[in-house]
Structure 1
Amino acid sequence: MENQLTHEASAFINFRDYKFQDSRSHGFRWVDIKHLRLPAESVEARELLAALIRHEQFRDDYAGGGVLPAGLRHGPYWLRLVTPDVYEAVSREKSSNVLCGWANQFGDVPAELEADLQQEVFNRLSAADHIYYLNGLGDAAIHDWGRVHDYFHEFVLVDRSAGRIMLLVAADD
């Protein structure tokens, strides 16, 4: 691929920033979205996923360390074990159901959080041409301290009309 992906922006929704009726219901939950510009030429899905995995922004352990250019971890997994083949193409409905179930696992979220999730997450799911889900790599892929996440949901959203690929991670820790 001649032109690589270009990181344009990121968004972070921290559930702790919203007022829940029960303080235990928010836990340490959050959504992280990284927006990257697609290359000018048309690229197949597998090649796009490979380019994303190679990108510096993918080297994030999502446990407070941030993006580490020489990092060896991706979320709870060893980076070397994350390949395009471990992503499953999923429907908007399935991805929405996974994320709604996760967000509302302790009851309905506050209206302000629901609005932010709608804008940053669900509207982007609706606009995506293709959605890929990293659906658990198994115990052998989990790095030395990777079990800090209770839940780790990762989606890759491809929106060709907007010229973007988005890495969306929803997790608890």
Structure 2
Amino acid sequence: MNNGLAHEASAFINFRRYVTDPKEHGYRWVDIKRLRFSAESVDDGRLLAALIGHEQFRDDYAGGGVLPDGCRHGPYWLRLITPDLYEPISQEKAVQILREWMDPLWDVPAELETDLRREVFACLAAADGIYYLNELGDEAIHDWGRVHDYFHEFVLIDRSALRITLIVAADD
């Protein structure tokens, strides 16, 4: 276990796989990382800190993948991300953010909707706690961090499954 968390599985949903015209939502994707924690882990703040310290968190989401010695997380400098930057939100609010990002007027292809329900929305429904990383501001953006038009990050804590799930929904 790394920082009290063990990486369990990852999934990647690339919208390009589901659309025929890449200009039509084809540059969007969702990255899901599942990590297991021990029953002794009590406090959500400590779980968030453990996640931030875990090597799976060291991902710039720009094609490089997880870099164990990396200094970036998405568009941000890793050193500037702390547990208190995560806002607790409701399942309804998380679903709203994701649906608005996808485009509420878009008729989502059935296969994509099925994959999103299984990999994202089912996890949201099972979570005891949902945290959202708000925009950190210009000072937190790393040297080439503006490659994403949108970057939404959710951390889901499911105590019954002893699982923390990191969901990043973004586009480039």
Give the TM-score band, short-chain normalised. Answer: over 0.9
Q: How does 1:158-169 map to 2 (within 5 A)?
A: 158-169=157-168
Q: CA deviation at 1:97?
A: 0.2
- Alignment of 1:109 with 2:108, yes or no, is yes
Percent of aligned positions with the same letter in both sequences?
A: 71
**Can you list the C-alpha shifts for 1:47-94, whole angstroms capped at 9, x where unaligned?**
100000000000000000100000000000000000001100000000
Query: Unpaired segments of 5 or more residues in structure 2?
Result: none
Q: CA deviation at 1:25?
A: 1.1
- Alignment of 1:7 with 2:10, yes or no, is no
- 2:28 equivalent in structure 1: 29
Q: CA deviation at 1:107?
A: 1.5
Query: Unpaired segments of 5 or more residues in structure 1?
Result: none
Cα distance in 1, alignment partners of residues 59 and 97 from structure 2:
22
Q: Which moved more, 1:2-11 or 1:115-124?
A: 2-11
Q: CA deviation at 1:105?
A: 5.5
**Can you list the C-alpha shifts for 1:81-118, whole angstroms capped at 9, x where unaligned?**
00001100000000000001112266221111011111
Q: CA deviation at 1:172?
A: 0.4
**Can you list the C-alpha shifts for 1:117-173, whole angstroms capped at 9, x where unaligned?**
111111110110000000110010000000000000000000001110000000001
TM-score relative to the length of structure 1: 0.95
Q: CA deviation at 1:24?
A: 1.2
- 1:128 equivalent in structure 2: 127
How many residues align? The count is 171
Cα distance in 1, alignment partners of residues 105 and 7 from structure 2:
33
Cα distance in 2, alignment partners of residues 79 and 134 from structure 1:
13
Cα distance in 2, alignment partners of residues 43 and 92 from structure 1:
21
Letter in 2 for 1:29: R
SS in structure 2 of the partner of residue 25 of structure 1: coil
TM-score relative to the length of structure 2: 0.95
Moved >4 Å (runs of 4+): none
Cα distance in 1, alignment partners of residues 73 and 119 from structure 2:
22
